[in-house]
Amino acid sequence: MRKYSRQREALLTELRGRKDHPTAEELYFSLRAVIPNYSLGTVYRNLSDLSTDGIIMKISSGYGPERYDGNIKPHGHFTCTKCGRVYDLDGFYDSHVDTKEMIREIGNSASSKDIASISEIRIMLYGNCVNC
């Protein structure tokens, strides 16, 4: 367990209060309004620690910078290939993804000989958002 820090707690509170999957820089500018001496390096370090510890989710979509999600419950995402925004697919994951069946099928496939275990399944859809 990492030592408590006011900066890390402020970052986590900010991220959990957002639904827009912000970048590190977007979080930095939001946090500077509350903690003027909060540095961009501290934001990156805390995001790394929180994602490594499984407290937040880092989203690398391939379109733009990495984004972050305070919701770590299994759910899908949609990435706009024009603007890079990431949206939650609420309800999609639970009603359309049978993780146990996916893991069973992958385990039974010939191509799975190099897979020891599966720890997570992430669903990312790509296309254009209504704003683009």
Q: Residue 130 is which amino acid?
A: V
Q: Which CATH number fits domain 74-132: 1.10.645.10, 3.30.1490.190, 3.30.365.10, 1.10.3720.10?
A: 3.30.1490.190
- Domain ranges (residues) in the chain: 1-72, 74-132
Q: Which helix H or strand E contains 31, and what residues bound it? A: helix 24-32
Domain 1-72 in CATH 1.10.760.10? The answer is: no
Token pair in block for residue 78 = 């949609």
pLDDT tens per residue across span 8-62: 999 999 999 999 999 999 999 999 998 999 999 999 999 999 999 999 999 998 8
Per the prediction, the chain carries an average pLDDT of 90
Distance of CA 92 to the CA centre of its chain: 16
